[in-house]
């Protein structure tokens, strides 16, 4: 079994090569054994709409049952419904089969055991169980259960829409297409669905709302329909992208400014967590609201653990994962985050552009990607940590290397899901931004002169 599929946030690989029936059965056996060791008698299993997901689900479920752990299959649903079910049904453990925003030939597993999302060491420990044969045996039961109605009802009872908004929902042919349009209609919105037919080939665009090219059809539809808002979800629904009525893409860190203002207004002193890729403006804004800003590592599993550790009421990543603990359960849910955004707009001003104009805006880049070898990318970051020369910058090595200067900052980190280095920059003006980019390019080239930069 390839060690490379056991990653920092989840298990992920090319479905027909690395997530074979044999591998998935063994992984199921390991997950079931770990769950039993933590006093869990059953595991929830759910899957996204990828073509390989039913096969993987069946092999995984048989492995879980072979450990003596019961399986509760909640069907083809978005990841947030699996997380929701761990809070509502009789077990706090589950496995979501999803390739998230990876290409169609990929798939993966997100694992929750006893209320904790496995990351890094926890995921590596599953492989070690398999290698060392530390596996239970037994005959677990299998049953199916539906969670969709309970999920929709919970949100309808929690979120109050003061005036109906007209919204376009782009599911990107991912699994949210089965549930998101109905959820927002029942909340009282006028919904125009776009690419809401579940199709594992993703024929219209890739289901990754962080890439501007994937939002162009949504922007066009919002303008054509005169909608108040456009919402895009990733393949498994734990991330969102937002487009304003004017067709402007709202970066998740700017969205977090508005959400933090709302949450902290009711909860003075609340912790708000954001990842290393987010704007530095969040620090001062959250403090000014009366909250406590906390910067943390990128990655849904790391963020959820930090939410649990700190008791934070809100968290957000630049990639579009938003975590609400206030009135919710602390997991990342693109649909619930969209509902909370619409609640704010419906009770204040539906013009999101106008609302965001009150917040500071610096010159910034999207995520910039530089190809690197799967193993080499980590050693590059390690060398940069030790050898990098960043003048008078303040260096943070929480996750990669982030350097804050007086008038801007830069970040480079190794992606935990693909063979790339991820960079992001922000500054007071374009010239300063380019200066910071040049510093990073020079320092990285000093370590590996084969790196190719397209910025």
- Positions marked active-site: 12, 100, 321
> 370 pairs with which residues across the strands?
421
Q: Which two tokens stand for residue 144?
A: 């199916």
Integer Cα distance of 28 and 19 in angstroms: 11
Rounded CA separation 291/95 (Å): 34
Neighbour tally for 284: CB within 10 Å: 11
- The strand pair at 401-405 and 408-414 is best described as antiparallel
Comparing CA positions, the residue from 26, 250, 206 lying closest to residue 103 is 206
Phi, psi (deg, nearest 5) at residue 260: -65, -40
Tokens 């929830």: give the residue. Answer: 44
Torsion over CA of 295, 297, 303 and 309, rounded to 10 degrees?
-70
For residues 93 and 261, give the distance between their C-alpha atoms in angstroms, rounded to a whole number.
33
Report yes or no: 444 and 415 within 8 Å, Cβ to Cβ: no
CB 18 within 8 A of CB 32: no
Q: Which two tokens stand for residue 343?
A: 């609640």
Please name the residues in contact with 67: beta carbons below 8 A apart, sequence gap of 6 or more: 28, 29, 30, 31, 32, 33, 35, 36, 135, 136, 137, 138, 140
Phi/psi at 294 (5° precision): -135, 120
For residues 42 and 90, the answer to whether their CB atoms sit within 8 Å is: yes
> Would you say 362 and 378 are in contact if contact means Cβ atoms under 8 Å apart?
no
CB contact at 8 A, 447 and 383? yes
> DSSP character for 82?
H
């Amino acid at each position: 079994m390839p060690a490379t599929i056991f990653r920092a946030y989840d298990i992920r690989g090319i479905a027909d090569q690395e997530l074979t029936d044999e591998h998935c059965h063994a992984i199921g056996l390991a997950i079931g054994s770990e769950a039993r060791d933590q006093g869990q008698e059953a595991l929830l299993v759910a899957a996204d709409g990828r073509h390989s997901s039913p096969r993987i689900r069946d092999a995984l479920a048989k492995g879980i049952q072979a450990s003596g752990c019961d399986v509760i299959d909640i069907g083809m649903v978005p990841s947030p419904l699996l997380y929701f079910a761990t809070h509502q049904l009789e077990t706090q453990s589950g496995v979501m089969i999803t390739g998230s925003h990876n290409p169609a030939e990929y798939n993966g597993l997100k694992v929750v055991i006893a209320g904790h999302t496995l990351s890094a060491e926890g995921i590596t420990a599953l492989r070690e169980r398999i290698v060392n044969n530390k596996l239970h045996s037994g005959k677990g039961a299998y049953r199916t259960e539906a969670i969709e109605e309970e999920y929709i009802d919970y949100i309808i009872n929690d979120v109050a829409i003061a005036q109906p908004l007209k919204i376009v929902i782009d599911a990107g042919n991912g699994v949210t297409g089965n549930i998101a349009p109905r959820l927002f209609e029942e909340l009282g919105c006028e919904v125009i669905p776009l690419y809401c037919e579940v199709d594992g080939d993703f024929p219209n665009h890739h289901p990754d709302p962080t890439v501007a090219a994937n939002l162009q059809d949504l922007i066009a539809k919002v303008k054509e329909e005169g909608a108040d808002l456009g919402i895009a979800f990733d393949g498994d629904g734990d991330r969102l992208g937002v487009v304003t009525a004017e067709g402007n893409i709202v970066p998740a860190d700017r969205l977090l400014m508005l959400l933090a203002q709302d949450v902290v207004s009711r909860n003075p002193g609340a912790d708000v967590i954001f990842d290393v890729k987010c704007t530095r403006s969040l620090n001062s804004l959250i403090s000014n609201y009366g909250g406590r800003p906390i910067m943390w590592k990128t990655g849904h599993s790391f963020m959820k653990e930090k939410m649990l550790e700190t008791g934070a009421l809100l968290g957000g990543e630049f990639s579009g994962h938003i975590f609400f603990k206030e009135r919710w359960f602390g997991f990342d849910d693109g649909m619930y985050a969209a509902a909370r955004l619409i609640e704010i707009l419906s009770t204040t001003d539906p013009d999101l552009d106008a609302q965001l104009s009150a917040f500071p805006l610096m010159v910034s880049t999207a995520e910039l990607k530089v190809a690197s070898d799967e193993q080499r990318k980590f050693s590059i970051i390690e060398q940069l940590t030790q050898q990098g020369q960043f003048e008078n910058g303040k260096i943070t090595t929480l996750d990669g290397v982030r350097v804050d200067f007086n008038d801007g900052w830069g970040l480079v980190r190794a992606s935990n899901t693909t063979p790339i280095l991820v960079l992001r920059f922000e500054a007071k003006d374009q010239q300063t931004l380019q200066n910071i980019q040049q510093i990073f390019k020079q320092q990285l080239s000093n370590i590996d002169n084969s790196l190719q930069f397209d910025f």
